[in-house]
Structure formats: C-alpha cells, structure tokens
Structure 1
Amino acid sequence: MAYIYILECSDGSLYTGWTMNLEHRVSLHNRGNGAKYTRSRRPVKLVYFEEHRDRKEAQKREWAIKQLPRSVKMSLIADFSRKH
C-alpha cells in the first residue's frame, strides 16, 4: 500500500508527499530527517492522506495535488477532517 499525504507545517504552509509507510514518514519529518522543506518548519501535522495500490499511482496523485491551488487543497483537508 502506498500513500499520499499533506502536512501542515508550523508556519501554516502545506507540504505534499508520498510514502509506503505513513506513520514512519511523518515521524521522519518531525525529527528533521524528512524533506528539506519541512526541516525548518517543524513540527508538522498530518492533515490529509489517501491510500493507493502502488507507488506509481501514489506518485501520479501526489503530482496532481501539488498542481492544485491552496484553496482546493484546503477543501480536500476540510472534507477529510469531516470524514475522519
């Protein structure tokens, strides 16, 4: 199982990524061993995720989400929060 995820950084910015192990990846971001972007914006909070069959599918969806304007990402997050 592969995942795409959105993190909310301490400065309010959003970071989108993909992983095969969601819990471990978020932990790496919060320890400063994740993406360069999140290192100086810790702590981060997981605000959205999707499960996908494989890495290729997750990477395609990650790219698509990264192309979305912030307002659409915030709508995704709000819908996700209501369901979870």
Structure 2
Amino acid sequence: MNYTYIVKCSDGTFYTGWTNDLTRRMEAHNQGRGAKYTKARRPVTLIYYETFETKEEAMKREYAIKQLSRKEKEELIR
C-alpha cells in the first residue's frame, strides 16, 4: 500500500509527502530524519492521508496536493 499524507508541523505549516509505510515515515519525521523541511519544525502530527495501490498514483496525488492553496488543503482535510 502507498500513501499520500499531510502533516501539521509545530509552527502550524503543512507538509505533504508520500510513503509506502506511514508509521515508519511519521517516526522518521519526528526523529528529524523525514525531510529537511520538517526537521526544524518538529514535532509533526499526521492530519490527513489517502491510500493508493501504486507508488506512481501516490506521487501524482502528492504533486496535486502541493499545488493547492493552504485554504484548499484545509478544505481537503475537513
């Protein structure tokens, strides 16, 4: 299973990514190994995710979400 996810950082910003192991990825983000962006904004909290069969689908959705405005992301999360 592949996932596209959004986390909320400690400074209130959102980070969007994809993974094939959501639990391991959240641990990595919170240990400072997940992404350069989240390293200085820990802890992060998982607030949204979608599941996909293939890596390509998850990556395509990640790109689409990253193109959204913050307001649109907030609407998606709701």
Could you say whether these structures have the same fold, taking a TM-score greater than 0.5 normalized by the shorter chain as the test? yes
Matches within 5 A, 1:1-84: 1-78=1-78
As a proportion of its length, which structure holds more helix?
Answer: 1
1:74 & 1:12 partners in 2: Cα distance?
Answer: 12
Aligned residues: 78
CA RMSD of aligned residues (A): 0.4
2:75 & 2:41 partners in 1: Cα distance?
Answer: 22
Following TM superposition, where does structure 1 have runs of at least 4 consecutive aligned residues deviating by more than 6 angstroms?
Answer: none
TM-score normalised over the length of structure 1: 0.92
Post-superposition offset of 1:17? 0.1
Post-superposition offset of 1:59? 0.3
**What runs of 5+ residues in structure 2 fail to find an aligned partner?**
none
TM-score normalised over the length of structure 2: 0.98
